[in-house]
Amino acid sequence: MMAALLRMVDEFKGFLVETGALFLFTLRFFKELFNPPFEGKELLKQCYYIGNQSLVLVALTGFILGLVLTLQTRPTLIEFGAVSWMPNMVSVSIVRELGPMITALICAGRIASGIGAELGSMRVTEQIDAMEVSGTNPFKYLVVTRILAATLMLPLLVVFADAIGLYGSALVENLRGDVSFQLYFNKVFDSLKYADLIPATIKSFFFGFAIGLVGCYKGYYCKKGTAGVGVAANTAVVFASMLLFVIDFLTVFVSDIFFEF
C-alpha cells in the first residue's frame, strides 16, 4: 500500500517535472522565434514535408469521415423526416469538431512521431552537437522551424480535410437521395456561420502548435541509444494526442463564452 502510494507520488513528481520542462521549452521557442537569424529556407522545407506530404492521408481520412457520417446518420434523419437537414448537420459536425480533431489526431500520429524520431536520432548520433559546433543554433534551425511549420500547415490541412469530407457527404446524398452537389453545398454554406469557422480555425493553429511542440520536445531531449529514439517517437504521439483533447476542451469552453451557438 505504502509502496504504491510512494510510486504514485514519484509519478506525479515526474509529471510535474515534465510539465515544467515543456513549459520552459515553450518559452524558449517564443524567445528564439523573434531573434534573428531566421531560418526561412528550412521553414519552407518543413512546411512542404508537414503540409504536402500529409495531404493524401488527410484527404482519404476526410473523405471516409464525410461518407461514413452521412451513411450512418441518414436512416435516423429519414425516420424523423429530417433528411433535408443532412447538409446542415454534417457541415457543422465536420467544420466545428470532427474535421479539426480527426486531422489533428492523424497528424499527431504522422508528424509528432516523425519529428520525435528524427530529432531523437539526430541527438543520439551527435548531429545536433555537430550543428552547434558549426555555429548554427540547433534549437532555432530544428525546433523553431518545425513547430512553426506545424502551426501554419495544420489549419490548411484541416480546411482541406473539411472540404473533402463535405464532398464525401455530398456524394452519398447525391447517390442515395438525388440531391445535386449545387443544392447540397448551397445548404452547407447557408448553415455555416463565422461562429463555426473562427473557433475551429483558431483551434487548428493550437493543434498544430501542440503537435510540433511535443514532437520537438520529445526528440530534442531524447535519451541516449536507439531505444531512446523509439521512446521519443512513441511518447510524442501519446502526449500530443492527449494534449489535443485538452486543447479541444479548452477551446470549446472558451468559444462557448464568446460565441452563441
Partner 1 sequence: MKKNPYQIEEVSNPQKAMVTIRDLHKRFGDNHVLKGFNLQLYEGESLVVMGKSGSGKSVMIKCLMGLIAPDSGYIEVMGKEIDSLDQQTLDHLRSDIGFLFQGGALYDSMTVRENLEFPLRRHKKKMGGAVQTIGLVREALRSVGLERAIDLMPAELSGGMKKRIALARALILKPKIILYDEPTSGLDPITAKEIIELMRDIQEKYGTSSLIITHDVDCARVIANRMVLLVDGVDYAHGTFEELSNATDPNIEAFFKK
Smallest gap from residue 129 Cβ to partner 1 (A)? 5
Smallest gap from residue 133 Cβ to partner 1 (A)? 5
Tell me whether residue 32 or residue 248 sits nearer to partner 1 (CB atom): 32
With helix as H, strand as E and coil as C, how does the chain read?
A: CHHHHHHHHHHHHHHHHHHHHHHHHHHHHHHHHCCCCCCHHHHHHHHHHHHHHHHHHHHHHHHHHHHHHHHHHHHHHHHCCCHHHHHHHHHHHHHHHHHHHHHHHHHHHHHHHHHHHHHHHHHHCCHHHHHHHCCCCHHHHHHHHHHHHHHHHHHHHHHHHHHHHHHHHHHHHHHHHCCCHHHHHHHHHHHCCHHHHHHHHHHHHHHHHHHHHHHHHHHHCCCCCHHHHHHHHHHHHHHHHHHHHHHHHHHHHHHHHHCCC
Tell me whether residue 76 or residue 125 sits nearer to partner 1 (CB atom): 125
Smallest gap from residue 120 Cβ to partner 1 (A)? 13
Tell me whether residue 18 or residue 32 sits nearer to partner 1 (CB atom): 32
Tell me whether residue 133 or residue 246 sits nearer to partner 1 (CB atom): 133
Smallest gap from residue 121 Cβ to partner 1 (A)? 8
Residues engaged in binding partner 1 (CB under 8 A): 118, 121-122, 125-127, 129-137
Smallest gap from residue 122 Cβ to partner 1 (A)? 8
Tell me whether residue 2 or residue 224 sits nearer to partner 1 (CB atom): 224
